[in-house]
Chain A
């Protein structure tokens, strides 16, 4: 972990959460809402966001 800190000039919580939510392997399907074969909204089944309060609690711990 020491090596990790020395490399990072500024690792933000946002960077970590952004990665976790937007990148990485997906092995389950997604839902796409469409009308007349035109995709309107792309809804990921993984869209289970924690509240900001939850994240702040975690950060403080």
Chain B
């Protein structure tokens, strides 16, 4: 059995329990162990420091034989290579925006909706400002993922910090850098 962790390019070193298989310009990083989701995540994050490009694979992709692995990848090779090109040299920074204070209990419905609208507009503004600094961005409600060049991570986190200071009504939680999970789509 092989567990598939990620696709990579420019891999400089590999942990002892991992192996690679080459498909086109991709290296598939596989291991014989049966990891749990946390172990899978830690292995992928570990690759981030050791490769030029890492495309994370969702937990649970297991293959019994080499042929089965090759077959699953062959039909998607072009799409996978394009995705790896897109995230090359980048990491993902997660940003979660939540209002600092929930509307007070005494507020009527209209006041509640106005408060939510103000929160929404302020959050939209923050996300627009950050998206302009990133190579790509994905947003779902309060969470957003930004694809940021590795060299720009410090500048990006400073921009998040500045936005946080200028918006006292919002709490901004910044996480990462992560492997670019939000930019690795099902194929």
The answer to whether B186 and A7 have CB atoms under 8 Å apart is no
The interface size bin for chain A is 20 to 34
Interface string of B53-83 (1 = CB under 8 A from A): 0011111110000000000110010001001
Given contacts A7-B176, A25-B184, A26-B186, contact A45 B60 (CB under 8 A): yes
A25 nearest CB across to chain B (Å)? 4
The answer to whether B36 and A16 have CB atoms under 8 Å apart is no
The answer to whether B38 and A7 have CB atoms under 8 Å apart is no
Q: Is B111's beta carbon under 8 Å from chain A? A: no
Bound-state Cα–Cα, A50 to B4, Å = 17
Q: Which residues of A contact B93 (CB under 8 A)?
A: 7
Q: Is A39's beta carbon under 8 Å from chain B? A: no
Nearest residue (CB) in B for A7 is B157
List the interface of chain B (C-beta within 8 A of A). Answer: 4, 7, 36-42, 44-45, 49, 55-61, 72-73, 76, 80, 83, 93-94, 153-154, 157, 173-178, 181-182, 184-187
Across the A-B interface, give the 4 residue pairs with the lowest CB-CB distance, nearest first. Answer: A46-B60, A24-B58, A50-B36, A23-B181
List the interface of chain A (C-beta within 8 A of B). Answer: 1, 3-4, 7-13, 15-17, 19-28, 44-50, 54-55, 58-59
Name 15 interchain pairs, CB-CB below 8 A, sorted by A. A8-B176, A10-B173, A15-B94, A15-B175, A16-B38, A16-B42, A17-B38, A23-B58, A23-B181, A24-B56, A24-B184, A27-B73, A50-B36, A50-B37, A58-B36
